[in-house]
Amino acid sequence: MRAYLLDGEPAAAVAERFGYTTAGLHSAVADFRAGAKNFFVEARPGPKTAPGKDAARTRIIALRAQGYSIDEIAAELAAEGIGLNRTGISEVITEAGLPRIWRRPEAARGGPRRENLPRARALTPDDYAQLPADAPTRMAGLLLALPDLLALDLPALVTAAGYPGTRDIPAINYLLGLLAVKLTGTRRVSHVHDLAADPGAALFAGLTALPKTTALTTYSYRLQHAKQKKFLTALDKASVAAGLATGEVLNLDFHAVMHWGEDAALEKHYVPSRSQRTRSVLTFFAEDADSHALLYANADLAKATQNNEVLDFAEHWKSVTGTHPALLVMDSKVTTQTQLGELTDRGIGFITLRARTPTLTAHLHALPTSAWTNLTVARAGGKTRRVRMIEDPAAKLSTYPGTLRQLAVAGLGHDEPTLLITNQHSMPAKRSSKPTPAE
């Protein structure tokens, strides 16, 4: 408490020095300011030991010495009755100073050899007639997705995108093969051989077996960005028509996918999971705020053009619905004040965060208690939270052409009030303070 509150050290540095998470430190500060006195020992005894991880440490290191990957180690531990997840195994390996390793060949892993897997081709009517009445499978759950895919008319979406096929595998079957990997939680396309020969997975894709790693990755690389945009346009139209998305409020955000190799020709972007800027692939997403259905994605963005993604998405949505989005909710890092002005010129509403400055924070602290309005806002799980809000209907930014409505909200769990800015001047305050993706 002294290091953070009195000495003014950064929360992240204090938390790391004393073995807490940053969130845990903020929680302790909140309790301390609320008058708690005995929570240091009773409620927060400090970092705890991990007996499960410690008990498995020797076994993990021994398996790693034999060339086992994290997934293989997890499977071995589970077979031995030791329940430890991949994160715990990774932490043990990192603490031991062991390097990352290449995946072992299938023969060494004891799994099916890739060269012995059946060849992938589309099933013919004769093939369907010769299928056995029953077959053992671990992937029968994939078949439960078929009614939803038919409701969206996936074949029509593939046709609209103009995706290519090959002599043996049509485009729709390629897409179903890639989808099977995603729906089964397979971490990478390179692991497809683990389910390639499964009868349930093959039947889902309408193939004798799923395409292998080279075929799937090569197919993905062949897809041009223009075809992906056509597919997203067709998918969004189908999603809106099927009631899977309303599009009344759309959440926008970036996500950096960290690069694990070396000498990558990639720009550095901020990766929240690492709390640092590192070489990564910057991606952009848009989702329906009500249903959380993913409606748009773009990848490998450059710093020089990333601020324009919000405008590109607005044009995409206009091509889908015939009108620009009604309301966009985004983090302050998604775009700049110049682009916010462009959104206003196009009649597009937005809600975003504003960076806290010492001047703004000091001004808010100087206001009397009577200047704040008490509100009760909804939280996840049906819970509520009591917050305080103060509104400025004519806030000015440095380069935004005009004024914006600013809402300062205290009581959201941060040390300082959260600042929201919007061009929606007539919207009720409670709706304007709807959490953004960053919240």
User: Residue range 189-209: average pLDDT?
Assistant: 90
> What's the rounded Cα separation, in Å, for the pair 326 and 423?
11
The residue written with tokens 């078929």 in the block is 146
Residue 433 has pLDDT above 50, yes or no: no
Selection from 229, 93, 260, 87 nearest residue 162 by Cα:
229
Sequence-distant (≥ 6) Cβ neighbours of residue 191 within 8 angstroms: 181
Residue 397 has pLDDT above 60, yes or no: yes
Half-sphere exposure of 203 (CA within 13 A, CB side): 22
pLDDT of residue 321: 93
DSSP code of residue 323: S
The letter for the amino acid at 112 is P
Task: Give residue-wise pLDDT tens across range 69-87.
Answer: 887 888 889 888 887 887 8
User: Residue range 8-32: average pLDDT?
Assistant: 84
Comparing 47-51, 134-138, 303-307, the range with the smallest average pLDDT is 47-51
Fold adopted by 51-104: Arc Repressor Mutant, subunit A (1.10.10)
Q: Between 114 and 65, whose confidence is greater?
A: 65
DSSP code of residue 207: B
Q: Between 187 and 364, whose confidence is greater?
A: 364
Comparing 139-143, 297-301, 429-433, the range with the smallest average pLDDT is 429-433
Task: Give residue-wise pLDDT tens across range 315-369.
Answer: 999 999 999 999 999 999 999 999 999 999 999 999 999 988 899 999 999 999 9
Would the pTM count as exceeding 0.85?
no
pLDDT of residue 34: 73
pLDDT of residue 434: 46
- Which SS3 state, helix, strand or coil, does residue 362 take? helix
Selection from 316, 333, 317 nearest residue 325 by Cα:
317
Half-sphere exposure of 286 (CA within 13 A, CB side): 26
Domain with CATH 1.10.10 in the chain: 51-104
> What's the rounded Cα separation, in Å, for the pair 121 and 169?
5
Sequence-distant (≥ 6) Cβ neighbours of residue 315 within 8 angstroms: none
